[in-house]
Structure 1
């Protein structure tokens, strides 16, 4: 029986969305959203530009993707703290970024279509390249930790004043406001 996958997006950068595949990072309730090849292919299909079939990923690529995600997290953390990058994390991200990325083409219908011989690995290459761009750009100063107590997500604060607190107002922000109202309510 096939599982329907739905991955969170909207963090402001593909690499930050990819980090969200470890939900509730740093808590005892952490949830791995890429536990198998089917999940990884579904993530690439939803979050990447070219179609990925369920058979486009295998167990080894799942392990590679999970390692890449954690390397990205370490690199972003180091860059935000103005520390030298972790050598292993840097090597993993550079290796992933070196893979071929999806290429665009105009279909007979006039629509833009994307192609890659290995769509999952190509999507991971885009994520790795986005990471390198982010950690070397001024946008890094706008990366924030979600203020949600059990969230653990990073997001790009694109608000004009740069004071956004939650990865999503619909989830973490709404939850925090409800908790604050409950605390204020008379007993």
Structure 2
């Protein structure tokens, strides 16, 4: 009997401009109807780390234990709480104490280690690839929340998108998390609204 091909690995959204913001996106449509958990199982977390982590392409990242998945989800929500507070009047000091403690614990871990090869290129390795990337995420969030770059963090203007991104455009007026997704959808919606009356007449 012929075996069915293995399902393709999930592709996660990236391009937010910071690792911690990409990680926040794994709760799709946060705060909206239809919010979706993109890390429902340890295998999904391993796939995210393989795609967005610093490791060589093709590296097989082992699925972590269930408790590590739970810690990753908690870390994601702590990142959101920190950046929400940091963007508000209270600044980073307004981060809830439990979330601050969780972020600090995660940041104290061992991040991926750079290794210079004989050919002159750098690759990254870790004894525990998933936990190492969680440490990177926590450190990135702490850095972003306390840096001037925070002023460039935006929420996507798409009506069905809750993704945050770092606006690195020179004028600082980027509106969409991605022109290929939300930006094009907005343009199409605007075109239809402008041309629908003419078409119907």
Q: TM above 0.5, one fold?
A: yes
**Equivalent residue in structure 1 for 2:151, among 141, 146, 151:** 141
CA distance change for structure 1 residues 36 and 54 in 2, over 3 Å: closer, same or farther? farther
CA distance in 2: counterparts of 1:18 and 1:111, whole angstroms: 26
Q: 2:143 is paired with a residue of what secondary structure?
A: helix
Match status 1:156 vs 2:166: yes
CA drift of 1:56 comes to 4.0
In structure 2, the partner of 1:65 is 72
Which residue in 1 is equivalent to 2:115?
Answer: 105
RMSD: 1.5
Specify every segment of 5 or more residues in structure 1 that has no aligned partner in the other structure, as ranges: none
Alpha-carbon displacement from aligned partner over 1:90-135 (angstroms, at most 9, x marks no partner): 1111111110001111234543221111110000100110000000
Rounded Cα–Cα distance in structure 2 between residues aligned with 1:82 and 1:43: 33
Distance 1:160 1:30 in 2: 32
* Structure ID, larger Rg: 2
Equivalent in the alignment of 1:17: 22
- CA deviation string 1:5-52 (max 9, x = no partner): 111111111111111111111111111111111110111111111266
Q: What is the deviation of 1:58?
A: 1.6
Q: TM-score, normalising length from structure 1? A: 0.94
Rounded to whole Å, the distance in 1 between the matches of 2:102 and 2:7 is 31
Unaligned runs of 5+ in 2: 1-5
Q: Which moved more, 1:107-116 or 1:130-139?
A: 107-116
- Give the superposition deviation at 1:172: 0.5
Residue 131 of structure 2 corresponds to residue 129 of structure 1: no
Summarize the Cα distance change of 1:105–1:173 in structure 2 as closer, same or farther, 3 Å threshold. Answer: same
Q: CA deviation at 1:180?
A: 1.4
Rate the CA distance shift 1:141–1:59 in 2: closer, same or farther, 3 A.
same
Tell me if structure 2 keeps the 8 A contact 1:56–1:119.
no
Preserved CA contact (<8 Å) 1:44 1:123 = yes
> Paired residue for 2:130?
120
**Candidates 138, 151, 176, aligned match of 1:166:** 176
